[in-house]
Structure 1
């Protein structure tokens, strides 16, 4: 009887595949968080050497913690019915914790470390226990129970990093985050229970694809916000106006390249996959790279619009060129996940940026931004020429193509 009551939380086959208004509301906290991440990156513009590497690593760690919170929430609403009151309460509670993390983020590696860590642990430890209790006797309750156990194992590292000396915070939190990501990859194995194979999980594929695409668009929206805010806050000039226009063109090209064929068919690929959980897990890591690359690129916009012909620095090269390069790598990975191949256009674009990078290190930031825009325009043009006159092909993902066979009872 308890198992039947717990089953009410599961997503029925008739549930809508689209994201709910509550989930879109939830994303607002992460709009704030992504803006804070880009601001921390922008603060590295004058750093060089080890200071630049350490600052970049600190901000990357904070981003990865936020991403884990967001991606786990996306999977929760893809596995459980988001219209159920308990799931809605979980999402709202996670949103509040995410907002606390966003507020603490600018100084999360300094004096605001404790609120950031506590908010993170409240989501990672308490949330799965609430879901496990709501599932009652249903076999799926073991999955959130596993999450809570593993999160409890890494919690001392998070708290020690927050309360201990500042010099130990980065290594302790890096170790804690590595435990959390490793647990997700391995399926949170426990003695006597084994692991829960994520690839065998039952998920709403269309919904998960929708959530990934929405987060990509949120990251793009953050880049547009950066363009507008930076340009409106500086002295108007022809070169700054040109940098503003080129930066907007790059964001538009990132949108075009993502959604051309592969990005457009993500939902179809997940729906047609014999094991959508496996493809969804791979796609989660791909979209982590995509969202991060857009954030890094947006920091480059800020640096160039603020000083288009300033002296070249390692920091601006890191953001202006490395961001688009990472985007192309992630987009190639996405194409392989959808079609089992990689188009020459993206390889051509990546090689072009690699070849230009040594020269760009000696040129003004504006030159680098224009080169990036030209390379991305070439990729989009080659995509268009390759697909012109051809019907839209269906997805043919090589991931999870085989039949799933016996599924885990926790799936």
Structure 2
């Protein structure tokens, strides 16, 4: 690949930085992946099942976020880049197919596919950018991906708690290596903080992933409803499940989610901000997956006998989502809306209190709390609109 060809692969900052069709095609796979995660958790509602879901969700997230950062730097309109993204999409589809038995007989298929994706993409970027300073950072990512990959493969050859522990450590390495800026002996850090990012493109990719997550919740609840038909209790349950998803959507996009491009551009270190924002979106995605499980409970068992686990799932899914949304608030405005903190605390505190109620009434509680938060957002922005004010590097929390 010549220097001229290398330049052709890079994004042109002078052109519009909207997401391309191949990226949207890639996102479609994640609707299926998130559906498999929520459905698998629905059939294994235990602490161990929840831990399995966290580990697998982290793996899918690292596939998505590293691919999003790759297309933020390289031009996905180029055929060479598309020839990387499309196989990654296929690999993600294979990973999703292995989800139900990932901690059983399909563990090796999941692990090998994940490792091939991560190493293959990092290797391509390193080669594509060779001769440029940023290629050193890509090489460091490749080395970290190889180290993490060994753990995933080794874990696949174990069973039970050993696999869980090894994979948990391997998934955590994704967070660790980014926090360490892919630092390696002699090479130092990858200097992520100094990298130029396309704020419009990266913000749009985060927004699109959230739409994918919401789409999964709609697909899951709609699929469950279709199995029962138009019975009055199922219709009410569907309306409540949809209301929860719609309110979560509203709470995200009004307004930090909507202002995300401006916030990234206004931050002192856009690349560092975008990395921090990715963790907030991961937390929100986890909340949506758990909320989707809650939707399935509401529709499948609207008036079933009270269950503490079901109550916790229905209310704690939105609570986890609010935690991620509060983090995005702080990153965007250097403060957190008080309504999110109160809503989060109330949702968690009410989970054991309302456990004696059937799922459909617990859903009403969730809808009421989320509706109050969404209304508070609207009123607050009408009378006290905020401009994007991301905290300075190393800045401290400045209140609600």
Q: TM-score, normalised by structure 2?
A: 0.94
Corresponding residue pairs, total: 395
Report the Cα distance in structure 2 between the residues aligned to 1:288 and 1:271, rounded to whole angstroms: 21
- Following superposition of structure 1 onto structure 2, how do residues 143-158 of structure 1 map, counting pairs within 5 Å? 143-158=137-152
Q: Supply the RMSD in Å over aligned alpha carbons.
A: 1.9
Higher mean C-alpha deviation, range 294-303 or range 3-12: 3-12
Indicate yes or no: 2:392 matched with 1:396.
Answer: no
Per the TM alignment, residue 242 of structure 1 is displaced from its structure 2 partner at its CA by 1.2
Distance in 1 separating the partners of 2:38 and 2:392: 33
Verify the 8 A CA contact 2:316 2:351 in the aligned structure 1: no
Could you tell me which residue of structure 1 aligns to residue 38 of structure 2? 38
Residue 27 in structure 1 maps to residue 20 in structure 2: no
CA contact (8 A) 2:267 2:390 kept: yes
Q: Is 8-17 or 139-148 further displaced after alignment?
A: 8-17
Q: 2:331 maps to what in 1?
A: 337
C-alpha offsets along residues 34-71 of structure 1, whole Å, 9 cap, x if unaligned?
111111111124xxxxxx11111012111110000000
Aligned to 1:124: 118
- Report if aligned partners of 1:4, 1:138 keep a CA contact under 8 Å in 2: no
**How do residues 278-317 of structure 1 correspond to structure 2 at under 5 angstroms?**
278-317=272-311
Gaps of 5+ in 1: 46-51, 403-411
In structure 2, distance between residues paired with 1:345 and 1:163: 47
Cα shift at 1:401: 9.8
- 1:100 CA drift (Å): 1.0
User: Does residue 368 of structure 2 align to residue 374 of structure 1?
Assistant: yes
Equivalent residue for 1:324?
318
Instruction: Judge conservation of contact 1:273–1:401 (CA < 8 Å) in 2.
Output: no
Question: Quick one: distance in 2 between partners of 1:325 and 1:383?
Answer: 16
Instruction: Provide the residue aligned with 1:11 in structure 2.
Output: 11
Unaligned stretches of 5+ in structure 2? 396-400
Counterpart of 2:347 in structure 1 is 353
Matches of 2:338 and 2:172 in 1, distance apart? 34
Distance in 2 between the 1:196 and 1:340 partners? 27
Shift of residue 281, structure 1, vs aligned partner? 0.5
Does residue 196 (structure 1) correspond to residue 206 (structure 2)? The answer is: no
TM norm structure 1: 0.91
Give the match's secondary structure for 1:8.
helix
Deviation per CA, 1:138-165, whole angstroms, max 9, x where unpaired? Answer: 1111122111111211222211211233
- Asked if structure 1 preserves the Cα contact closer than 8 Å seen for 2:69 and 2:202, the reply is yes
1:110–1:339 distance in 2 versus 1, CA, 3 Å: same
1:406 is matched with: none
The answer to whether the 8 Å contact 2:322/2:344 transfers is yes
Q: Secondary structure at the match of 1:295?
A: helix
Once the two structures are TM-superposed, the CA of residue 314 in structure 1 deviates from its matched residue by 3.4
> Residue in 2 aligned with 1:54?
48
Is the CA contact (8 Å cut-off) linking 1:276 and 1:400 kept in structure 2?
no
Q: State the alpha-carbon separation in 2 of the partners of residues 159 and 57 from structure 1.
A: 19
CA contact (8 A) 1:278 1:399 kept: no
Residue deviations 1:337-381, cap 9 Å, x none?
111111222223223223322311222212211100000011111
1:165 to 159, 163, 179: 159
Distance 1:245 1:166 in 2: 39
Task: Determine if contact 1:41/1:56 at 8 Å carries over to the other structure.
Answer: yes
Counterpart Cα distance in 1 of 2:392 and 2:244:
31
